[in-house]
Amino acid sequence: MKNRNTMNRDWIATARTLSEALPYLQRYDGATVVIKLGGHAMGSDSAMEGFARDVVLMQQVGVNPVVVHGGGPMINRMLERLDISARFRNGKRVTDAETMEVVEMVLSGRVNKRIVQAINAQGGRAIGLSGKDANLLICTPEDPELGLVGAPAEVNPTLLRDLASAGNIPVIAPIGGGSDGETYNINGDTAAGAIAAALRADRLLLLTDVAGVKGPDGAVLTELNAAQIRDLIASGTIGGGMIPKTQTALEALKGGARAAVILDGRAPNACLLELFTEHGAGSLIRP
């Protein structure tokens, strides 16, 4: 059991943290924050529980959170169980009709409902959707060689606004419909960026398994603009999987989102640290 002096120090530190958070709580009151959930934060029950608690707390202090999720590892495991080969081209999943059935089953069914259940268990009111609901995401084929991989051509966010107004938290699987009646698999980051732009979100939070965008010296860059990102890509400093994430951020900003952040979803309370502390978390990207 802690002695009273230690407890007093803890209380003082907690009170100071809450007091320092006040201007940020006021800053985000009524703000829309789109969160792309992926990576480690989806990999364990404890990480999912922590993420869900943070999302519910965000809503309780006035933020309107919208969650968009991925689920690549879960799709791969199901394809393996069904003895269906997984093929990739330039890091993107080649999606034929058979694979698309599995993708939709896993993302809209198993993964989506797991996140919904986790948020509801923490006292929230989450509702699971895919981009096919209410024509949220209408797609065109991204590349004929990728098959049923879609690029959002139209985003209709009215349903999301209505859900938020009623106190619900939308949780969206990156599946879209097409004008041709097809179902399309959408990259999770791409879907989140398109939704953030359509909602003119105050923040797009891209949770990943790295601390943020790194500069030439390997240190995380806490704030960047579009021109700096383009220079870092051209120089090769930004490479690999960070290129599509930064490009997603730039497209979201171009479409109407105010700012994007690439941050480490493995860190406890990463979203809360970004929104409600002075130092933030990860790399903040502005126009």
Q: Concatenated DSSP letters for 38-82?
A: -GGGGTSHHHHHHHHHHHHHHHHTT-EEEEEE--HHHHHHHHHHT
- Is 14 among the domain residues? no
C-alpha separations of 279 from 7, 24, 203, 273 in Å: 25, 11, 16, 8
Average pLDDT over residues 93-112: 95
Whether 198 is in a domain gets the answer: yes
**pLDDT on residue 192:** 97
Average pLDDT over residues 9-19: 62
pLDDT of residue 20: 74
CATH of the domain at 259: 3.40.1160.10
pLDDT of residue 1: 46
Residue 239 confidence (pLDDT): 87
Average pLDDT over every residue of 157-185: 95
Q: How far is CA 211 from CA 134, 235, 284, in A?
A: 35, 20, 12
The pLDDT tens digits for 105-140 are: 999 999 999 999 999 999 999 999 999 999 999 999
If you average pLDDT over residues 192-219, what whole number do you get? 93
Give me the chain's average pLDDT, please. Answer: 90
pLDDT at 280 over 80: no
Task: Give the mean pLDDT of 52-56.
Answer: 95
Q: How far apart are the first and last CA of the chain?
A: 50
What is the rounded average pLDDT of the residues 159-179? 96
Say if 42 falls within a structural domain.
yes
Residue 205, token pair as written in the block: 């939070």
238 in any annotated domain: yes
Residue from 237, 241, 227, 239 nearest 285 by CA: 227
* Domain membership flag for residue 270: yes
pLDDT: is 16 or 241 the higher one? 241
Number of H helices, E strands in the chain: 10, 14
Number of domains in the chain: 1
Give the position of tokens 């999606």: 95
Q: What integer is the mean pLDDT of 269-278? A: 86
Q: Give the per-residue pLDDT at 40.
A: 67
Average pLDDT over residues 90-115: 93
Range of the domain at 262: 21-286
Q: What is the pLDDT, as a whole number, of residue 193?
A: 97
Among 201, 204, 187, 188, residue whose Cα is nearest residue 249:
204
Would residue 16 count as lying in a domain?
Answer: no
The pLDDT of residue 5 is above 60: no
Query: Once rounded to an integer, what is the mean pLDDT over residues 205-228?
Result: 90
Asked, for residue 8, whether it belongs to a domain, the answer is no
Q: Is residue 5 part of a domain?
A: no
β-partners of residue 223 are 284
